[in-house]
Amino acid sequence: MSTALVPVLPYIFVLAFGLIVGSFLNVCIFRIPEGGIPFSEPRSHCPQCNAQIAWYDNIPVASYIVLTGKCRACKASISIRYPLVELASGMFALACAVNFGFTWAALVYYLLIATLLVITFIDLDHMIIPNIITLPGIPIGIAASFLLPELSLAQSLIGVAVGGGGLFAVSELFYLLRKKEGMGMGDVKLLGMLGAFFGVKGVLFTIMAGAFVGTFVGLILIPLNRSKGLDLRIPFGPFLASGAIVYIFWGEFLIYKYLEYARGGF
Ligand SMILES: [Zn+2]
């Protein structure tokens, strides 16, 4: 074997691992809102014709391309979202390995991103962030502080309090002022979970980055929908998830740049 190939091999395994996990994430997105357990059914079925999907038609991304996006049995079209989730999962696994090396931090952050992908699509589909994901996520994040060199147990615990508690206060205040629920309790629990993984600094960064992306998207979507006379509800979960992913890869750099800028004066 050529020596140049050897360093690449672990990354190919990481990509394959991410693609396979992505396939499982699709099942989670589909099953968790129904109250089902993602592991309960051993084989996948076509949602249209209920035909069992053979293993060779269930290979992440590749099968979608081979089948040109159609079920082999009934030719019903398969949502492009399935291969996109698989691809995103694979690319994020690769990005974590490249960015953090073959470390516990890489694994922890990848699994967190995978969870955020599930939350994003469930929130887009159903406007909910399931407790079954975020509530166990809080103690898992606290436990992960033992694996993350830059996060102490104390920072993790304070992160939960600030992420969950701080936003809960904002959401209550919003309710008092507007008599309308602006941010759901699902978002509050998600921020509690992110606080556990990130600490205070990271969870505040996530809220700001999420609000920034959310405002930008809102400015585009709200006028479009108002003209159609629809009462638009934009789920906030996907924006918080985007903010969290930005923090994982670029947070330290952006905070450093911001502080450098702030110190230099305006
Ligand atoms: Zn079918």
pLDDT in tens, 130-159: 999 999 999 999 999 999 998 999 999 999
Distance 32 CA to ligand 1 centre (A): 22
Residue 214 near residue 239, CB atoms below 8 Å: yes
Distance 78 CA to ligand 1 centre (A): 9
Distance 53 CA to ligand 1 centre (A): 9
pLDDT at 37: 63
pLDDT at 100: 95
Distance 48 CA to ligand 1 centre (A): 5
pLDDT at 157: 96
Mean pLDDT of the chain: 88
Distance 66 CA to ligand 1 centre (A): 15
pLDDT at 235: 81
For the chain, what percent of residues have pLDDT higher than 70?
A: 88
Residue 32 near residue 38, CB atoms below 8 Å: yes
| Residue 216 pLDDT grade (very low, low, confident, very high; cuts 50, 70, 90) | confident
HSE value, Cβ hemisphere, 13 Å, CA-based, for 64? 15
Distance 162 CA to ligand 1 centre (A): 47
| Residue 236 pLDDT grade (very low, low, confident, very high; cuts 50, 70, 90) | confident
pLDDT at 181: 59
Distance 73 CA to ligand 1 centre (A): 5
DSSP 257: H
- By CB atoms closer than 10 A (0-12, 13-18, 19+), residue 254 is middle
Distance 71 CA to ligand 1 centre (A): 5
pLDDT digits (tens, 9 = 90+) for 11-38: 999 999 999 999 999 999 988 988 766 6
HSE value, Cβ hemisphere, 13 Å, CA-based, for 209? 22
Distance 67 CA to ligand 1 centre (A): 12
Distance 103 CA to ligand 1 centre (A): 41
pLDDT at 24: 93
Distance 21 CA to ligand 1 centre (A): 23
Distance 127 CA to ligand 1 centre (A): 28
pLDDT at 42: 58
Distance 76 CA to ligand 1 centre (A): 6
| Residue 182 pLDDT grade (very low, low, confident, very high; cuts 50, 70, 90) | low
Residue with more model confidence, 205 or 222:
205
pLDDT digits (tens, 9 = 90+) for 85-110: 999 999 999 999 999 999 999 999 99
